């Protein structure tokens, strides 16, 4: 993961929280992976990596269901990214469809939600193409690129 994030540092910077240098180190990425596996073990997160399919199995993105909630909500948050050189090839849409299918079929969830920056048209396009509906703007929703920014909220109802 450290190589994938390092390779995509500039590409992802406008869309993610500000990252210090340690974030890109193998040791820090190992800690993140271990934390994600701990969340997976208690059913609160499911992370997947996207690989290029070649022998190298180079990581070219990720898709994650986080904040999985049971009970009457049956909801998860969706996050994803794709390597800078692989945009507009359907990879992000395929990853989102895969995660939504897993949320429905494997987890039995009712809903998946996602948030995008208002000006992140590529991400908004992916969500629209995979059936997500825009449900409103959340002011100063997440601290992205070092400042609190408004986000457009989206949802996909899975059992409709």
Domain ranges of the chain: 2-112
Which residue is listed with tokens 């340690």?
22
- pLDDT value for 26: 95
CA distances from 89 to 36, 86, 155 (A): 28, 6, 23
Pairing mode, strands 46-51 and 147-157: unpaired
Give residue 159's pLDDT. Answer: 82
Per-residue pLDDT at 57: 82
Per residue in 81-102, is it b (16+ CB within 10 Å) or e — as a string? bbbeeeeeeebbbebbbebbeb
β-pair type (59-69, 46-51):
antiparallel
Written as six digits, the tokens of 97 are: 């469809």
- Tens digits of pLDDT across the chain (160 residues): 999 999 999 999 999 999 999 999 999 999 999 999 999 999 999 999 999 887 678 999 999 999 999 999 999 999 999 999 888 878 999 999 999 999 999 999 999 999 999 999 999 999 999 999 999 999 999 999 999 999 999 999 998 5
Cβ contacts of 74 within 8 Å, gap of 6 or more: 108, 109, 110, 111
The pLDDT, as a whole number, for residue 85 is 86
For 114-141, the DSSP string reads EEEETT-HHHHHHHHHTT-EEEEEEEEE
* Whole-prediction pTM: 0.92
Instruction: Give the pLDDT of residue 39.
Output: 96
d(CA 52, CA 83): 10
Which pLDDT belongs to residue 86? 83
Q: For domain 2-112, which architecture applies?
A: 3-Layer(aba) Sandwich (3.40)
- Please give the pLDDT value at position 160: 54
């Amino acid at each position: 993961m450290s190589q994938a994030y390092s390779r995509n540092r500039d590409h992802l910077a406008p869309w993610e929280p500000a990252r210090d240098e340690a974030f890109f180190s193998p040791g820090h990425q190992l800690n993140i992976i271990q934390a994600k596996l701990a969340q997976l073990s208690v059913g609160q997160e499911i992370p997947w990596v996207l690989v290029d399919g070649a022998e190298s199995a180079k990581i070219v993105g990720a898709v994650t269901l986080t904040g999985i909630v049971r009970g009457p909500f049956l909801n998860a948050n969706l996050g994803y990214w794709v390597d800078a050189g692989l945009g507009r090839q359907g990879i992000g849409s395929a990853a989102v469809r895969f995660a939504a299918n897993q949320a429905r079929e494997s987890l039995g969830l009712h809903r998946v939600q996602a948030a995008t920056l208002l000006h992140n048209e590529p991400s908004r396009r992916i969500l629209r193409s995979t059936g997500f509906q825009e449900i409103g703007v959340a002011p100063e929703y997440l601290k992205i690129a070092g400042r609190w920014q408004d986000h457009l909220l989206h949802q996909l109802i899975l059992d409709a």
